[in-house]
Chain A
Amino acid sequence: MLQIDYEACTGCKICERVCPFGAIIVEPETKKARVLDNCTLCGACVNACNFNALSIERKAVSEEELALYKDVFVWSEWEKKGDTLQIKNVALELIAKGRELADKLGETIAVILLGKNVDHLVDELFHHGADKVFLCQHDLLENYSTDGYTTVISSIIAVEKPSIVLYGATPNGRDLAPRIAARLALGLTADCTGLDINSVNQLVQTRPAFGGNIMASIISPYTRPQMSTVRPNVFAKLQPDTTRTGIVEEVEVTLKPISIRTKIVEEIVSQDESTNIEDAEILVSAGRGIGSKESLSLISDMAEELDATVSGSRALVDLGWIPHPQQVGQSGKTVAPTLYFALGISGAIQHLVGMSSSDTIVSINNDPDAPIFKVTDFGIVGDIFEIIPEFIKLLKARENK
């Protein structure tokens, strides 16, 4: 229930202006706010009110009520590739995982898709396993914004009552999900690496903590929906089935510019196609051990010979030697290439978290006790400056044969 504190309300009408659904008005006679029946409890007005006059009372729900929450929802993030929009891999991965969870619960899986002119992306979502798509299109959704996206998704959740909502743990996903969780007073588990359903149909969310030194399983027994963010490259996406279709439900969005408080001034793209480390098959990754910036050329020479992409540990990004989109690890990206070279990387746990699910890991380090060797499939204890030039020679010789 949306509660109005009539003493605090000044009749300033900001709630009226921010409500996406026209569900709150200020009565001309009383100069006080009034809630209409079409309120979705999205919370946009609560947030906007400068006088703390609005609040939403959210009580822990009883078991009978919990059972009313059904279906698995996934927020589908997209990215701009040149002029075209493309669904992010993590969204497709989540549809696959969500599909599995929905099947276990005997429920369906729906995708929430926000944007401007994004309807052409819907088919791909069905091909990858979605049963239903909530399509929310609006000029103000053209770019991600915390306020706009939080409001739209909160109201869909409030109305549709799903049992589970999943988000990719991307910068935007991690910006958005907690905002929604706080608005709806829901539990949220960040950066999950495992999701499962237990015997009482609860979502069991497994995540690493303490930099990956321990794992924790987390449940939200008394609130619905149960929400998680999930790191990219943790789950596999399904093979697309181009014959699959589903239901498209267009959601009417009535956002107003005033309710989006952050503005994009500029976008600085420092990543081109070839350096997208999340999708790379082979990554050649360098760490502190390379010593000087000049040595980076050795790393890129090797990468070139292998048709691989260069990435690096946090130290190199901090120095500005490689741009942060190419950073692997806790504060960078999670990668899972088929082949990962760790060159002069000692393997602090923060780095291991970002790459240990690579299929094969090859490491060269002069410290035999470097933790990287614990996750290594093929390791060499030695000097990268001696070994890599020899290795490049061998690769070149092979090519010339």
Chain B
Amino acid sequence: MKIVVLVKQVPEADKVAVDPETGTLIREGVASILNPYCEYALDQAAKLKQTYLEEDIEIIAISMGPPQAKIALMRCLELGADSAYLLSDRKFAGSDVWATSSALKEGIVNLVPDFDLILTGKQAIDGDTAQVPAETAEQLGIPQITYGVDVKLDRRRIEVKREVETGYQILSTRLPALVTMSKGSNIRRIPSMRQVLDARKKLLETASADDLNIDDSKIGLKASPTQVDKIFAPPIKTGGDIIDGSDPVLAAKKLLDYLVENNFLKR
């Protein structure tokens, strides 16, 4: 059985800022990481591989991004992927959600045509759109289950525990299908030195748009229905009163006064 894990390399989101004068993104000095939700997806794939030995699961990590996104794929290889492909081409630049999912679809169809399951993070922490997985599933014509927290295999079906606002649902569908992961196990995996070493001996290939026979009209800025009009810094809320709480009795009293003054206490 083949599981494709779609991953993305992202900047550590909380460190990215906008230059207030030029309105451009400041990414300098911001480290790139494997998107945490994608790591959950990989974690789930590795868990399935361990649990369902009879399925002889092969895990293939695929990412679209600049050449340096190879590092994120290397991390996947350390954490349990058997091989990895980077879709990298200047022609992909400027792709929005639709164009990105077009490229991913072509990548998957070309590189792993006989995939059974696609696992991916529910969203990337840089764009936060959570749209690429669903659009990719639609373009591949397969069913999707979003916000999964656990996946079980049952021959050609999967059962997924899905987060919804009021709790969880258990959904089931036929393979091939795509599942986005919202959470992994609490305790995180850290690769061993052995895994770090071995990962460097696995297959990690780069494929261009031409390698995948992707029509130029489907990818990149030109194929993107949405356009970024402008980027700007969020309005800053100025802080209010901050008091010293080293005397807890006094601090509690001041807090009560504040709430009373502002009519928060009805009783």
Contact between chain A and chain B defined by CB under 8 Å: yes
Q: In the complex, which of the residues B136, B226, B255, B266 contacts A220, with contact meaning CB atoms closer than 8 Å?
A: B226
Q: Are A216 and B141 in contact (CB under 8 A)?
A: no
Among listed A239-247, A286-294, A382-390, interface-contacting one: A382-390
Is A121 in contact with chain B by the CB < 8 A criterion?
A: no
Contact (A339, B264) CB under 8 Å given A325-B165, A378-B240: yes
User: Chain A CB within 10 Å — which of B97, B171, B224, B242 has the most?
Assistant: B242
Contact (A330, B128) CB under 8 Å given A175-B146, A268-B168, A382-B248: yes
**B residues less than 8 Å from A278 (CB atoms):** 165
Mask of A328-355 contacts with B, CB within 8 angstroms, 1/0: 0011010000110000000011100000
Q: Are B186 and A263 in contact (CB under 8 A)?
A: no
A323 to B163, alpha carbons, bound, how many Å? 11
Q: In the complex, which of the residues A46, A47, A263, A320 contacts B171, with contact meaning CB atoms closer than 8 Å?
A: A263
Q: Are A218 and B228 in contact (CB under 8 A)?
A: yes
Q: Are A183 and B186 in contact (CB under 8 A)?
A: no
Q: Contact residues of A with B, CB < 8 Å?
A: 46-49, 79, 146-147, 150, 170-172, 174-175, 177-179, 181-183, 185-191, 204, 208-223, 261-271, 278, 282, 306-307, 318-320, 323-325, 330-331, 333, 338-339, 348-350, 356, 360, 362, 364, 366, 368, 373-383, 386-391, 393-395, 398-399
Q: Are B170 and A266 in contact (CB under 8 A)?
A: yes
**B residues less than 8 Å from A46 (CB atoms):** 141
Is B237 in contact with chain A by the CB < 8 A criterion?
A: yes
18 contacts between A and B (CB under 8 A): A171-B146, A175-B146, A178-B132, A182-B134, A187-B98, A187-B224, A187-B225, A211-B14, A216-B230, A262-B172, A318-B183, A325-B165, A349-B13, A379-B240, A389-B248, A390-B251, A390-B252, A398-B256
Interface of B, helix, strand, loop or mixed by DSSP: mixed
Q: Contact residues of B with A, CB < 8 Å?
A: 11, 13-14, 16-18, 25, 96-98, 101, 122, 125-139, 141, 143-147, 159, 162-174, 177, 182-183, 186, 224-234, 236-237, 239-246, 248-249, 251-256, 258-259, 262, 264-267
A208 to B231, alpha carbons, bound, how many Å? 10
Contact (A212, B234) CB under 8 Å given A181-B98, A182-B139, A382-B246: yes
The 7 A-B pairs at the shortest CB distance, nearest first, are namely A382-B245, A187-B225, A390-B252, A182-B138, A386-B248, A187-B226, A178-B134
A34 to B121, alpha carbons, bound, how many Å? 39
How far in angstroms is the closest Cβ of chain B from A10?
16
